[in-house]
Structure 1
Amino acid sequence: MAEYKISINQLASFSTSSEYKKRAIVKQQKTPPKVLVARYGLAKARIRKAIANYGNIQPILEGIEELKSRTPEKPFDINNKIVSIEAMERFIKMKLPVFLQDNVYEVLKKPKINSFHVSDVEIIVSADLIIKVFIDGQPFLGGVKIHISKGDPFDTHRSKYVTTCLYQYLDLIFESSGEIVLPELCLSVDVFADSITSAPKKLEKVLEDIEMICLEIKKIWPLV
């Protein structure tokens, strides 16, 4: 087990956080709750299904109706229902990138390894989808990471950390297969930012920034 670790969405949040918030993020990653309740699980599952099916919104519509029929009592569950419905309603208005609209693609089985390491820090990717897109008959790989946070939507700057980590992970995982991972196929879908961001074509500067973030995480880790 890695001594230092962080998820890519938390890494993106860390990149622009205050010193206090950075320590809170590292503390949560260092000592995660024993019982972790997945937030917005149904919404994410339906969004994944919609993307996997070429943007077909039927799974989204069914998910909205399913949640509307529920009558949660606990504050957490009530909030989860409200935000999940809004997230799905917002996704319906979003358009998939042109290369997903115009080309055939398939969803691949997720590898057992869901992370990679930078400067001894394990970056947990847990891609929501890994896709193989056929462009002019040639296969290329990419992936999707979904972000649902009404209080902290990602701007383009933070989304690029997510997509660059996604690219780097896929490039390492599929290195031996000889298949090519395209930056433009590595996507951060942020419903509350109304954005679908792809990885930059020039990755070097972002990768340098990610390395500096990981070094900062290592510095804070023993202090929290």
Structure 2
Amino acid sequence: MESKYIISLNQFADFSKGTNASKRRIIKQQKVPNKFMVAWYQLPKARIRKSIANHCDLKPILDGIEELKLRKPEKQRQVLDRAVSIEALNRYVGIKLPDILRSVPYKIIKKVESKSIILNGIQIVISPDVIFKLKIDGKIYLGAVKVHISKNNIFDNIQSRYISSLLYKYLKEVVATENEVVLDELCLSIDVFGDKVISVPENLSKSLSDIKGICEEVKSLWNVA
């Protein structure tokens, strides 16, 4: 199931608070993605995923910091990437994730039917960084994490709640089987430079209603951007 309107989750969060000009720029980027654009901060993202997958073990993070310190970047872009990546990993060490991720064993789900959901005619590419399954008192629960690393573009609480709400909806619609329950407090938007972890808001229906309104705006700008 696909839509001609496609936007990635973090870009959707950007769009929700953007100026008219930045919203048009985001739409243009989504319509014609730059296949040669190199992603920033690949090492810290990979190390954070590994840390969470290993029950919040900080060894992958600390090893990543040491690996980055040993790198000898030549280009200015590499110098900047290295510096921000080290800072991101150091910040992540101080972020407090839910205790349940340390106290309850869980499995990582790697194969999923789709990385997207369709909402109000928009295909939103959720692509969680980690999806986990855990068993408590005989019941199977699911959770997921989306990580955001940007020093100059920190998500506010509302943007982060949009992300956790969409993670929840994605798990419910795409991943969860009949006997699996999606756990609100384990649908987590992690903003590393914002030093925060935001789970599903209490008023989920209000958050999803706002998201549907943003979807309408994406569609309205799609053909004119």
How high is the TM-score relative to the length of structure 1? 0.95
SS of the residue corresponding to residue 193 of structure 2 reads helix
Question: Deviation above 4 Å: which 4+ runs of structure 1?
Answer: none
The aligned residue for residue 24 of structure 1 is 25
Deviation of 1:114 after TM superposition, in Å, equals 0.3
Q: Tell whether the 8 Å contact from 1:110 to 1:130 is kept in structure 2 after alignment.
A: no
**Larger deviation, residues 185-194 vs 171-180:** 171-180
Distance in 2 between residues matched to 1:169 and 1:148, nearest whole Å: 21
**1:31-81 residue CA offsets vs partner (Å, 9 max, x unmatched):** 110213121111011011111112211111111111111111222222111
The unaligned stretches of length 5 or more in structure 1 are none
Percent identity, aligned pairs only, is 47
Deviation of 1:110 after TM superposition, in Å, equals 3.3
**1:19-42 residue CA offsets vs partner (Å, 9 max, x unmatched):** 111111111111110213121111
The aligned residue for residue 178 of structure 1 is 179
**1:107-165 residue CA offsets vs partner (Å, 9 max, x unmatched):** 11231410011122110011000011223342200100010011011121110010111
The aligned residue for residue 140 of structure 1 is 141
The aligned residue for residue 91 of structure 1 is 92
Q: Tell whether the 8 Å contact from 2:144 to 2:167 is kept in structure 1 after alignment.
A: yes
The aligned residue for residue 194 of structure 1 is 195
Deviation of 1:196 after TM superposition, in Å, equals 0.9
Summarize the alignment of residues 133-172 of structure 1 with structure 2, pairs less than 5 Å apart.
133-172=134-173
1:4 aligns with 2:5: yes
SS of the residue corresponding to residue 28 of structure 2 reads helix
Distance in 2 between residues matched to 1:90 and 1:215, nearest whole Å: 36
Deviation of 1:103 after TM superposition, in Å, equals 2.1
Distance in 1 between residues matched to 2:52 and 2:177, nearest whole Å: 27
Length, aligned pairs only: 224
Distance in 2 between residues matched to 1:136 and 1:175, nearest whole Å: 18
SS of the residue corresponding to residue 126 of structure 1 reads coil
The aligned residue for residue 127 of structure 1 is 128
Look up the equivalent residue of 2:126 and give its one-letter code. Answer: V
How high is the TM-score relative to the length of structure 2? 0.94
CA RMSD in angstroms, aligned pairs only: 1.4
Look up the equivalent residue of 1:138 and give its one-letter code. Answer: K
